[in-house]
Amino acid sequence: MAIFLTKDSRVLVQGMTGAEGSRHTARMLAAGTDIVAGVTPGKGGRSVDFGERTVPVFGSVAEAMTETGADVSVVFVPPRFTGSAVEEAVEAGIPLCVVITEGVPVHDAVRFRALASGRTRIIGPNCPGLISPGQSSAGIIPADITSAGRIGLVSKSGTLTYQLMYELRDLGFSTAVGIGGDPVIGTTHIDCLQAFQEDPGTDAIVMIGEIGGDAEERAAAYIAANVTKPVVAYVAGFTAPEGKTMGHAGAIVSGSSGTAQAKKEALEAVGVRVGRTPSETARLLRATREGGSP
Amino acid sequence: MDLYEHQAKELFGRHGIPVPAGRVATTPAQAGAIAAELNAPVVIKAQVKTGGRGKAGGIRTAAGPVTAEVEADRVLGMDIKGHVARSVLVETATVPFEEYYAAFLVDRAEGGFLAMVSSQGGMEIEELAATDPDALVRLPVDPVAGVDAETARALAAKAGLPEQAAETLEKLWRVLVAEDALLVEVNPLICTTDQRIVALDGKVTLDDNSAFRHSWEQEEHADGLEARARAKGLNYVKLDGEVGVIGNGAGLVMSTLDVVAGAGAAPANFLDIGGGASAKVMADGLEIILDDPDVRSVLVNVFGGITACDAVANGIVTALELLGERGHGRPIVVRLDGNNAEVGRRILSDARHPAVRQVSTMDGAAGTAARLAAGA
């Protein structure tokens, strides 16, 4: 089992004919993803040959869904067109829309998030997407650094996701979700924690956070009330100075709020063990399985 | 991007929100000239992107041009919480009869917009929220419908603001939308004795991601290395320590800084070279870091996800060739892991560069870089 994305997911790629879109479509196909369509306005009727599969291109998401039964969209279009691309996918009624694009205006994200409410699950923007190893990959997470297993992972950061997936590759993952580092995102830590808690294929959860906002504090409260599976966590940015954006648009300590220390304390207060380094976090996860101390 | 007060007020003025008459000055003589032009008592306000200016002595009044020049001279160059006042706003002194608070902002937690309005303005909003939470009205704003005249009137009434403030609230919302702002805040928004609503202060944070659809002027006084890095398109933040850090991915780099600190050293910078990590980007990054005189060792921490480590290793080798003698012999500790890590490590060991040492784990590499920075 897995969350949000399984071997039965039928994936379309918005922006598949662009450089990034076609490169990552080839990678997703190699990871076993059932890519059924590409969407590029004005380029409907063509197709793209990826060797093992020729993927038809449609002019709209609605048409692609009707013709192919696609139920997941992965968005690779440039920032200035991302808002309208996502709104189109939402209007077409796609159940899951994964927005990889970095640099999407926050107002656009607020708008498509509001429009999607109750219709479409949006993951991202500015995220690596999600992968259910051995089943399907929607986004840019490398498929060959880990294996299928029973750990669930949710993270704001791409490379830290890869780092933990790699460190725990012998145990393997049900699903790893990169929710993105922007201030406004479609799917939160809490949404993923809830899905992992309900997923019979997930035994334990790794949660990765970073400075900025209070998503980790809220997740801690949610865990205390709703999650019975073991959760370990890692938080990045203890040394980040106040008022500086650290790479991710949302990664900023404002005044005394959004600090890594506050997030760590909130998680530890509800019994979540927080690693000081990614490696220690991996050891803490192993310890939850063995029932001993790391 | 945070705006200076004078930039925020220019935006407000353009959107029809009343602000005191005034202009920005960078010399005492200019300040005197502006005061003479205004022909009224003025306020001299330090232009720094931080709060607490008043307490620090960065806001002063002057009866006329002569005192304005003297006061501007005292404020210019003043250091307020690490922010140097390189300019002052000289504007007509405006006496409040009542002070309010008004803001619209992006609510990260809810992924929407939020209005915050209070009839108790003037103090820091965190202080107000703590001392008198009931006096602060917080209302979510529908991102599609926005704030129209009716919503603005309801908001003003709920917060106990006079009716004529509603129009200003509506215009303030329009500033947020039209300028792609993450925050517009007026504190205090005042009502004068003659019943005029005036924005006495202004704080605006613009969304850098939306720069492509605006023509904002940049007024930045960044650290020299930060400005150079930005010109090269690098994601760099200067810090106070002695271990230079390069990595791929914002989260991994933040994590690397923490691990360096955990090893007993202090990171000299944040530098994310992103997913591609080409030889050119690696060379640009190493050059900026090695030009930082505080740097005593460098830690390159790369996890090969999409990019394979052999490509990264080739990038490092080429970068070191491009840099030649400019490294001044400072040690470079490299940790490569993930995709094709073994091939990448072999490329680096075959290159036999005297400055490069390889350590296979992130924690171990941080420890080595910290030791080398300490001269051990």
Give the HSE-up count for residue B304: Cα atoms under 13 Å, Cβ half-sphere: 25
Annotated binding residue at A166?
A: no
Calculate the CA dihedral of residues A218, A224, A228, A229 and round it to 10 degrees: 50
Same domain? For A17 and A106 the reply is yes
Whether residues A175 and A272 fall in one domain? yes
DSSP letter (8 states) at residue B353: -
Q: Out of A89, A123, A157, pick the residue that ends a domain.
A: A123
- Say if CB B372 and CB B265 are below 8 A apart: no
Strand runs (DSSP E) across chain B, as ranges? 22-25, 42-46, 59-62, 79-80, 83-84, 88-92, 96-107, 112-118, 136-141, 181-192, 197-199, 203-206, 235-238, 243-247, 269-272, 297-304, 332-338, 356-358
A150 and A117 in a common domain: no
Question: Given pLDDT bands bounded at 50, 70 and 90, which one contains residue B67?
Answer: very high
Cis amide linkage into residue A125, ω under 30° from 0: yes
Pair (A23, A69) in one structural domain:
yes
Domain assignment of residue A265, yes or no: yes
Chain A residues close to B338, C-beta within 8 Å: 142, 145, 162-163, 166
Q: In the prediction, which pLDDT does B362 show?
A: 93
The predicted pLDDT at position A257 comes to 77
Is the pLDDT at A292 greater than 50, yes or no? no
Among residues B10, B69, B185, B287, the one annotated as catalytic is B185
Judging contacts by C-beta atoms under 8 Å, the chain B residues touching residue A161 are 251
pLDDT per residue as tens digits for the range B70-95: 999 999 999 998 889 999 999 999 99
Tell me: do A112 and A150 sit in the same domain.
no
Secondary structure (3-state) at A183: coil
Q: Flag whether A131 is in a domain.
A: no
Q: Which of A218, A248, A255 sits opposite B250 (nearest CB)?
A: A248
Question: Is residue B266 within 8 Å of B295, Cβ to Cβ?
Answer: no
Listed in sequence order, the residues at least 6 apart from B204 whose beta carbon sits closer than 8 Å to its beta carbon are: B2, B3, B7, B8, B11, B175, B179, B181, B183, B184, B185
- A-B C-beta contacts closer than 8 Å: 178
Distance CA A30, CA A281 (A): 30
CA atoms in the 13 A half-sphere facing the CB of A181: 28
CB contact under 8 A, B108 and A213: yes
Residues A112 and A153 in one domain: no
Query: What tens digit of pLDDT does each residue of A154-166 get?
Result: 999 989 999 999 9
Pairing verdict, β A231-236 and B197-199:
unpaired
- For B146, the closest chain A residue by CA position comes to A111
Short-list A278, A157, A275, A258, CA closest to A216: A258
Domain for residue A135, yes or no?
Answer: no
Q: Is A136 inside any structural domain?
A: no
Instruction: Report the domain count for chain A.
Output: 2
Q: How far is B70 from chain A (nearest CA, A)?
A: 32
Asked if B328 contacts B300 with a C-beta cutoff of 8 angstroms, the reply is: no
Percentage of residues of chain B with pLDDT beyond 70? 97
Question: B217 vs B255, which has greater pLDDT?
Answer: B255
Residues A89 and A177 both lie in one domain: no
Is A112 contained in some domain? yes
Would you say A58 and A44 are in contact if contact means Cβ atoms under 8 Å apart?
Answer: yes
Residue A133 lies in a domain: no
Asked whether residue A293 carries a pLDDT value surpassing 50, the answer given is no
C-alpha dist (Å) from residue B79 to A253, B48, B52, B355: 21, 9, 12, 40
Read off the pTM. Answer: 0.91
Is the model's pLDDT at B221 over the cut of 60? Answer: no
Pair type for strands A121-123 and B83-84? unpaired
Burial degree of B131 (CB within 10 A; 0-12, 13-18, 19+)? exposed
A149 and A285 inside one domain: yes
CA dihedral A111, A116, A118, A119 (to 10 degrees): 160
Residues A101 and A199 in one domain: no
Of A114, A159, A234, the CB nearest to B303: A159
CA B133 to chain centre: 28
Q: Identify residue B65 by its one-letter amino acid code.
A: P
So what's the pLDDT on residue B277? 61
CATH of the domain at A161: 3.40.50.261
A28 is in which domain, residue-wise?
Answer: 10-123
Tokens found for residue B323: 């840099």
Q: What residue ranges define each of the domains in chain B, with the CATH number in brackets?
A: 19-92 (3.30.1490.20), 96-213 (3.30.470.20), 224-373 (3.40.50.261)
Q: Are residues A264 and A211 in the same domain?
A: yes
Contact indicator for B333, A169 with CB cutoff of 8 Å: no
A84 and A150 in a common domain: no
Can you give the pLDDT at residue B39?
A: 96
- Report d(CA B226, CA B243) in Å as an integer: 16
Looking at mean pLDDT, say which of B43-57, B215-229, B325-339 comes out highest.
B43-57
Residue B219 pLDDT greater than 60, yes or no: no
> Above 50 in pLDDT, residue B121?
yes
Residue pair B355/B331 in contact by the 8 Å Cβ criterion: yes
Domain match, A151 and A209 both: yes
Here the CATH number for the domain that contains residue A115 is 3.40.50.720
Q: Is residue A241 part of a domain?
A: yes
Select from A93, A123, A153 the last residue of a domain: A123
Report if residue A3 sits inside a domain.
Answer: no
